[in-house]
Chains A and B, each alone.
Chain A
Amino acid sequence: MNLDSEAIRSAAREAVLEITSRALKEGQKLVSSGLIDSLSILRLITLLEKKLQLSIPPETLQPEDFDDLDLIVETVKRVAVPAH
């Protein structure tokens, strides 16, 4: 899928704000810093799918794939498929 990095970044920022009520800064760690737990990662995935209109198959993912903005962009680009 050809996805725009900035769109993913922006969707991820909005999703994290929705989950934690805190703005996500560039380079800030989400999972390894304990800011969000594995259940919040599941919510993050659902919100990203909704905002970006795509599907993120979870089979090959681990929470650390969503540890910061760069990793979220890389992960979404790697695994996302068009929404059904």
Chain B
Amino acid sequence: MQLNSLSYLIFLSAAVVVYWLLPHRFRRGFVLAASLVFYATWGIAFVTVPVVVCLLVYAGSRLTLSDTGRARLWMWLGIFCATAILVFFKYREFLLLSMMPVASWFTGHTYSFARTVALPMGISFYTFEAIAFFTDIRQGRVKKVGFIDLLLFFLFWPNVMCGPIVRARELVPQLQFRFGFEPRFVFEGTDRVIWGLVQKNVVANILGIWVDKGFAASTAAPSTVDSWFLAIAFGLQIYFDFAGYSNIAIGAARLLGVTLPENFRQPYHAATPADFWSRWHMTLSRWIRDYLFFPINAKWKGAAFPLYLSMLGVMGLVGLWHGAGWNFILWGLLHGAYLVLFRMYEAVKGEGASVAPSSFTTALWRVLTLIGVTTAWVLFRAPNLNKVSAILTSMFARHTMTAAYSQTFYLITVAVALFCAVEPLLMRTLAEIEERAGLEGPSLFRIVGRPIAYFLGLLLFMLFDEHNAQFIYSQF
């Protein structure tokens, strides 16, 4: 069941009504049952995967807490097992395919294998939550958590599909559901869900139709204009797709009174490459920072060579997390290279030099960051390295100015890009207008008018839309 489908809206509405009608003591059991049903809609057999991961985390965390002499061993064993399950489902084929040419070269035989194992929904996300849980237990940040609480933490339906990636210490206490009903939960939650649906079903899906055609086209040498538009359009599509999903997830949790962490903060307004990662998929960046980057560099006290090496390595892993393919690894490595270059610049010029207010350097870094991020999206999206090469050559080396796509594509891309450009200004202006008019807080427009306006527009689109594309991040 996709989060942007009519069936999910019916499921969500029914679940929220039943949830608030139930006495407190039944709510935990109900949300767990609803989460299991939601997960089972992707295949009943798949439910066993998060349940097994949960059993593993439960047993491993108990051993880490009770057997203090070998706590470190239990933590690492738990992390290894959780990662092994992820590798089996997500990277098995990639590893075999990558190793086959080497094996063939050594033995002279040709190898092949049957592709049979499907990817359980959300496995990349709950595996990261499991690794964080083991680390937090070992560091004393999380105390003993019961099996049912843990299962609910991993399976909580609003964010099980593609995050936000949460830590047990911020979600488990909320999953006791000790909240009394407050109208703001419904208003805030509905507003987020509907805005997320508009982002995904209207903006991302419309851009996606052209992006899919553009990247699938057999044109050997697309023009410079078309290549840049294609890269920009995909950058906008993936932003609205994943930010839309995140808003639906955050809004659905809010309808139950639960607060999930934010995942996006106008990423295309990033001032530097490092700033981009503090605005894009923020909960993944936080995970990478807390459980990979900081521990590695803390050992070396931030020394330059290990720092640069870890930036490349960690970003390569971020790429691999997004997908089992060399294009994703290269995408991550390219972002790693941006971070290294930026850090080198700061090391020479002094920290903060790139974000000095109103300077030429500030503007230059903004532009370079945007160009760098857009260029990297080509690696992320192109179906093969030949296509990557053709598009990047057109973007930077061989300039041709023909425009082969429909005018609508260029107009929509420009319109969405302009919206992104003025979004912070728009938000500030709206807040100021509401403040001046004394409408701050739950005004009639905010709590009733806006959701109704979104919903009517969206309903029309959903009724007539046959495209119903899945979320890009649900493939990770």
Please judge, given known A-B contacts A37-B278, A38-B294, A63-B294, whether A58 and B139 are in contact too, CB under 8 Å.
no
Interface string of A13-49 (1 = CB under 8 A from B): 0000001110000000000001001111111011000
The stretch that binds A, out of B91-99, B250-258, B295-303, B377-385, is B295-303
Please judge, given known A-B contacts A38-B293, A63-B290, A64-B290, whether A19 and B298 are in contact too, CB under 8 Å.
no
> Of all chain A residues, which has the CB nearest B290?
A62
Interface size class, chain A:
20 to 34
> Of all chain B residues, which has the CB nearest A41?
B294
Pairs across A and B, CB under 8 Å, 26 listed: A19-B351, A21-B352, A34-B278, A37-B278, A38-B289, A38-B293, A38-B294, A38-B297, A39-B302, A39-B343, A40-B351, A41-B294, A42-B297, A42-B302, A43-B302, A45-B298, A45-B301, A46-B301, A58-B298, A59-B295, A60-B138, A61-B298, A62-B294, A63-B290, A63-B294, A64-B290
The answer, yes or no, to whether B274 is at the interface (CB within 8 Å) is yes
Chain B residues with CB under 8 A of A60: 138-140
Q: What is the minimal beta-carbon distance from B245 to any residue of chain A, in angstroms?
A: 23
Total of A-B residue pairs, C-beta within 8 Å:
45
Instruction: Report how far A80 CA is from B322 CA in the complex, Å.
Output: 38
Chain B residues with CB under 8 A of A41: 294
Chain B residues with CB under 8 A of A21: 352
The answer, yes or no, to whether B307 is at the interface (CB within 8 Å) is yes
Chain B residues with CB under 8 A of A37: 274, 278
* Contact present for B290 and A39 (CB under 8 Å): no
* Contact present for A58 and B289 (CB under 8 Å): no
Instruction: Report how far A50 CA is from B290 CA in the complex, Å.
Output: 24
* Contact present for A39 and B297 (CB under 8 Å): yes
Which residues on A are within 8 Å of B, measured CB to CB?
Answer: 19-21, 34, 37-43, 45-46, 58-64
* Contact present for B352 and A20 (CB under 8 Å): yes
> Of all chain B residues, which has the CB nearest A49?
B301
Chain A residues with CB under 8 A of B298: 42, 45, 58-59, 61
Chain A residues with CB under 8 A of B294: 38, 41-42, 58, 61-63
Q: What is the minimal beta-carbon distance from B128 to any residue of chain A, in angstroms?
A: 15
Instruction: Report how far A62 CA is from B289 CA in the complex, Å.
Output: 9
> 7 tightest CB-CB pairs across the interface, nearest first?
A58-B298, A42-B302, A60-B139, A62-B290, A38-B289, A38-B294, A63-B294
Instruction: Report how far A59 CA is from B298 CA in the complex, Å.
Output: 8
Chain A residues with CB under 8 A of B290: 62-64
Chain A residues with CB under 8 A of B302: 39, 42-43, 46
Q: What is the minimal beta-carbon distance from A84 to any residue of chain B, in angstroms?
A: 14
Chain B residues with CB under 8 A of A40: 351
Q: What is the minimal beta-carbon distance from A49 to any residue of chain B, in angstroms?
A: 9
Contact of A58 among B141, B295, B307 (CB under 8 A): B295
Chain B residues with CB under 8 A of A20: 352
Give B247-302 interface residues, CB cut-off 8 Å to A: 274, 278, 289-290, 293-295, 297-299, 301-302
Q: What is the minimal beta-carbon distance from B345 to any residue of chain A, in angstroms?
A: 13
Chain A residues with CB under 8 A of B301: 42, 45-46
* Contact present for A62 and B297 (CB under 8 Å): no
Chain B residues with CB under 8 A of A19: 351
Q: What is the minimal beta-carbon distance from A4 to any residue of chain B, in angstroms?
A: 25
Please judge, given known A-B contacts A45-B298, A63-B289, whether A39 and B307 are in contact too, CB under 8 Å.
yes
Chain A residues with CB under 8 A of B295: 58-59
Q: What is the minimal beta-carbon distance from B344 to any residue of chain A, in angstroms?
A: 13
Q: What is the minimal beta-carbon distance from A20 to any residue of chain B, in angstroms?
A: 7
Instruction: Report how far A45 CA is from B278 CA in the complex, Å.
Output: 21
Instruction: Report how far A38 CA is from B310 CA in the complex, Å.
Output: 13
Instruction: Report how far A34 CA is from B290 CA in the complex, Å.
Output: 14
Chain A residues with CB under 8 A of B141: 62
Chain A residues with CB under 8 A of B138: 60
Residue of B141, B278, B298, B352 ringed by the most chain A CB atoms within 10 A: B298
Chain A residues with CB under 8 A of B307: 39
Q: What is the minimal beta-carbon distance from B262 to any residue of chain A, in angstroms?
A: 11
Instruction: Report how far A42 CA is from B455 CA in the complex, Å.
Output: 47
Q: What is the minimal beta-carbon distance from B223 to any residue of chain A, in angstroms?
A: 39
Instruction: Report how far A46 CA is from B300 CA in the complex, Å.
Output: 11
Instruction: Report how far A63 CA is from B343 CA in the complex, Å.
Output: 19
Residue of A19, A20, A39, A60 ringed by the most chain B CB atoms within 10 A: A39
* Contact present for B352 and A62 (CB under 8 Å): no
Q: What is the minimal beta-carbon distance from A31 to any residue of chain B, in angstroms?
A: 9
Chain A residues with CB under 8 A of B293: 38
Chain A residues with CB under 8 A of B139: 60, 62
* A45-B298, A59-B295 known, 9 other contacts, Cβ within 8 Å: A19-B351, A38-B289, A38-B293, A42-B297, A45-B301, A46-B302, A58-B299, A60-B139, A61-B294
> Of all chain B residues, which has the CB nearest A78?
B140
